[in-house]
Amino acid sequence: MFYLTIDILGTVAFAISGVLVAMEKRLDLFGVFIIAFVTAIGGGTLRDLLIGNTPVAWMKDLTYVTTIFITVVFAIVFSGKLKYLRKSLFLFDTIGIGLYTMVGIEKGLQAELMPVMCIALGTMTASFGGVTRDILCNEIPVIFRKEIYATACILGGVGYFLFVRLPIPQNYAYVAGILIVIILRLLAVRFGISLPTIYKKQQEG
């Protein structure tokens, strides 16, 4: 139940981020739903295909589709409350990658993958929905820019595997992994921390 709750919360967070991007692009109602849908299920679909868990989760359990539909309606109705779309998008996207990173790691553990493969699976689960959303909305995906995004997912996964070695309940380690991802991304954006770029050096040369 704990892991399902985290999965649903991640679905809600990513669906809202999809709605915000779609509304910013002024898409119609169908377009808003499609962007929210692919954002919410994109990473999980890739994850399930990679580990051979087919049909993928959202095709076997209507809970995900129902959750996305309700979330889209909720986000549209209360869109007026989200006055600062970019800030809201950033917040929900950050929460989403934190939750989905750990969902992907848990699925990797269930498939008996090595820790490094679990972290890679968690990072892809967290990132791929946003990548699909940005491509469909004609944006350069955040993961391909110099912002701290996938790096936060990787460090959160590493933190989880370190915490599970401590004499604490596994759920605490799980929550700690989520918080590491979210806090690192928030701090990186707040203080302008980013990965190095090669282009400035090329221009100077």
Measured CA to CA, the distance from residue 101 to residue 181 in angstroms comes to 8
> How confident is the model over 12-57, as pLDDT tens digits?
999 999 998 999 899 999 999 999 999 999 999 999 999 999 999 9
Is the model more confident about 125 or about 84? 125
Please report the pLDDT score of residue 164 as a whole number: 93
CB 104 within 8 A of CB 122: yes
Please write the tens of the pLDDT for every residue from 90-112: 888 999 999 999 999 999 999 99
pLDDT confidence tier of residue 85, bands split at 50, 70 and 90: low
Distance CA 63, CA 48 (A): 17
Percentage of residues in the chain having pLDDT higher than 90: 67
* pLDDT beyond 60 at 205: no
Domain ranges of the chain: 2-196
Rounded distance between C-alpha atoms, residue 40 and residue 96, angstroms? 9
Question: In the predicted model, what is the mean pLDDT of the chain?
Answer: 89
For residues 104 and 153, the answer to whether their CB atoms sit within 8 Å is: no
Distance, CA of 177 to CA of 80 (rounded, Å): 33
* Residue 203 predicted with pLDDT over 60: no
What does the angle CA 177 – CA 47 – CA 21 come to, to the nearest 5 degrees?
A: 80
pLDDT tens digit string along 109-120? 999 999 999 999
